[in-house]
Amino acid sequence: MAASPKEYASLNVRVTCLRVILSLIVVALFGRCAFLLVVQAPELRGQVEYQQSSGVEVLLPRRGQILDRNGKALAQSVEASRIDVRPAAIPPERQEEVATFLAEVSGTPTLATALLEKIRGSLVPFPFLRQTDMAIGEKVQQANLPGVDVFSSQKRVYPFGPLAAQLLGFVHYDFGGDQREELFGLEGLERSYEDQLHGKSGNAVYLLGPTGERLPVDPVEHTPAMNGNDIILTIDSVVQNVTEDSLERAAKENQATSGSAIVLDARNGEVLAMASYPDFDPNEWTAASPTQFKNNATQFVYEPGSVFKFVVGAAALEEGVITPSTVIHDDGPIEVSGWTFACPSEFGGPHGAQDLYNLFKNSCNVGFIQVGQLLGEERLRRYSDLFGIGRPCALEVPQAQGQLPPTEDWYDVLLATASFGYGFYCTPLQIAGAFQAVANDGRYVPPHLVKEIRDGTGKVVYSGESASTRQVISQKTAIQLREALKGVVEAKVPDSLKPYGVVGKTGTAVVYREGEATTLNNTTFVGAFPADSPRIVIMVNVNEPQVEFAYAVRVCVPIFMEIAGKVVDILRLPPP
């Protein structure tokens, strides 16, 4: 039986309503998709990426230790915890509980309100605590809070604080978007030996629950981490400590801007101590000024002044242009191409007739200009280079090069000024290294800091003995030079060191700025003992001391004698 017109009309209304409803549903679905794809995409992507990455736990390697020559840890990594929060996994009714607990366990209960707002305001996971104590991590883990994850981490510590800070450097914590929290060296040995210290990460793949929590089953894949290698230094931490103490005290007493001190084993170039003032604590390196990171022993560049005269004397003896008994006359000012040079009367000038012993004792500029003229530009420049002046050695920390002009740029006035330590630039380390050759019967052994590198099993994978030694001057010349240098500080040697004897050379160099001389000096003393068979070389450099009579003999020599006396006791060096 056919439907009536009224029934057809009713059917059409129902079909039209259904079409409208279906259309609205489709529009709503498209709208929701657009909202998810455009508006919420970054936030959702963060959740997905986090849940995907949290399925793979990165197993961090233990960063290698840096040890002194006697096995004392100067830099090491300790276990720590990292605590992360996943807001999406925290039920609304427990958000306040989580925020309050975490704020209290962190020791900052006032943080609870801000933490709660952060949990409520975002679904994206975020880190809460980094490098925190293991005890805090265990407490959080035992609380079994929803949406709170505890990961193993590590923290770099320097047990002796500022000791050898510029040598060791410090690390940067790389906070990745996953469980990685790796350490990377930023300064000093931490940076130079990053590849050796870092190690290689492993990973463990875990099954996850619906909100990203790890299921309590064994990992489905496991690749162990490879720990970093340990670096064993030539440094003796006790010698380093007394060297730093003596340098800091003297720098402060003399109101100096900076300074450095180096202790070398004269026989093999091993650095037993390298101090730099001012220092900093690598445990709190973010509180320090970048200028404090500078290692003044290797990165301070200056005109050395009269301390360089031992290089001039060594070259002249080796080349045979003088002998220890050659008489050099200082009869007053000497002129070179219109420039006048003299030894001031307050320093005993003019000094008259002098052999090499008295030439060094008087530190006679006029006399050394004449010795330099006997040598000539080419030979003085060549021996300066052989002694390592103006070029970095193979030391394992950042170094400045200095500047030794090429042979073709030398001329008579530069030859004159270079003969008493002006017109070129070097570092305190280069002065110490050059004197090591004098102390070691003429054989130069580049200063070095790393004694050994050992892998995780204790196997030695590198030995730091230097192979690039060179004979700079003969043994005969070295002995003659040391004999001539005995008079420089003979009157300053304390009774405790007199059985050993000290040879060395002072240097007080006027500071020039923009080509103009200032009233400031940079002071240096380098020496060795025992005088006849040196075992130890010590270099002390103190810059711009602002006290009366700010000369090396007053500022640096006492520091040298103090350090030398302590080194004798520490290393138990018998008199010769």
Tens of pLDDT, residue by residue over 373-409, are 999 999 999 999 999 999 988 888 889 999 999 999 9
Select from 354, 349, 298, 347 the least CA-distant residue to 329.
Answer: 354
Instruction: State residue 225's pLDDT score.
Output: 82
Instruction: State residue 37's pLDDT score.
Output: 56
More confident residue, 94 or 1: 94
Inter-residue contact 530 to 501 (CB < 8 Å): yes
Tokens of 317: 């003896």
Distance CA 468, CA 443 (A): 11
369: how many CB neighbours lie within 10 A of its CB?
21
176: how many CB neighbours lie within 10 A of its CB?
10
Inter-residue contact 539 to 526 (CB < 8 Å): yes
27-48 b/e (C-beta count within 10 Å ≥ 16 → b): eeeeeeeeeeeeeeeeeeebbe
DSSP label at 235?
A: -
Same CATH topology for 53-116+125-140+154-205+215-229 and 237-281+295-571? no
- 3-state secondary structure at position 300: coil
For the ranges 135-149, 432-446, 494-508, 561-575, which has the lowest average pLDDT? 135-149
DSSP label at 212?
A: S
Instruction: State residue 35's pLDDT score.
Output: 58
- Residue-wise pLDDT tens digits, 316-328: 999 999 999 999 9
For the ranges 21-25, 344-348, 437-441, 484-488, which has the lowest average pLDDT? 21-25
- Residue-wise pLDDT tens digits, 522-542: 999 999 999 999 999 999 999
**Total-model pTM:** 0.84
- 3-state secondary structure labels for all residues of 106-164: CCCHHHHHHHHHHHHHCCCCEEEEEEECHHHHHHHHHHCCCCEEEEEEEEEECCCCCCC
Average pLDDT, integer, range 436-454:
96
For the ranges 41-50, 278-287, 492-501, 513-522, which has the lowest average pLDDT? 41-50
Select from 11, 573, 229 the least CA-distant residue to 2.
Answer: 11
Inter-axis angle of helices 377-386 and 365-375, nearest 10: 100
Band (pLDDT 50/70/90 cuts) for residue 568 is: very high
Instruction: State residue 54's pLDDT score.
Output: 47
Instruction: State residue 182's pLDDT score.
Output: 72
How many Cα atoms occupy the beta-carbon half-sphere of 232 within 13 Å? 16
53-116+125-140+154-205+215-229 CATH pick, 3.90.1310.10, 3.50.50.60, 3.40.50.300, 3.30.870.10: 3.90.1310.10
Instruction: State residue 246's pLDDT score.
Output: 98
Distance CA 308, CA 388 (A): 12
Percentage of residues in the chain having pLDDT higher than 90: 65
Looking at the predicted structure, is the pLDDT value of residue 2 above 60? no
Instruction: State residue 52's pLDDT score.
Output: 44
- Residue-wise pLDDT tens digits, 401-432: 999 999 999 999 999 999 999 999 999 999 99
- Residue-wise pLDDT tens digits, 14-66: 656 666 676 667 666 666 655 555 555 544 444 444 444 447 767 778 899 99
279: how many CB neighbours lie within 10 A of its CB?
20
Instruction: State residue 30's pLDDT score.
Output: 64
Average pLDDT, integer, range 306-312:
98
More confident residue, 182 or 403: 403
Q: Work out whether the CA dihedral 364, 370, 372, 374 comes out positive or negative.
A: negative
Instruction: State residue 34's pLDDT score.
Output: 56
Average pLDDT, integer, range 199-226:
73
Distance CA 524, CA 540 (A): 6
Distance CA 67, CA 373 (A): 48
- Residue-wise pLDDT tens digits, 131-170: 788 889 889 889 989 989 888 788 899 999 999 999 999 9
**Which amino acid makes up residue 538?**
I
* 237-281+295-571 fold: Beta-lactamase (3.40.710)
Instruction: State residue 53's pLDDT score.
Output: 43
Domain ranges of the chain: 53-116+125-140+154-205+215-229, 237-281+295-571
Instruction: State residue 214's pLDDT score.
Output: 65
Instruction: State residue 211's pLDDT score.
Output: 59
Band (pLDDT 50/70/90 cuts) for residue 180 is: low
**Which amino acid makes up residue 326?**
T
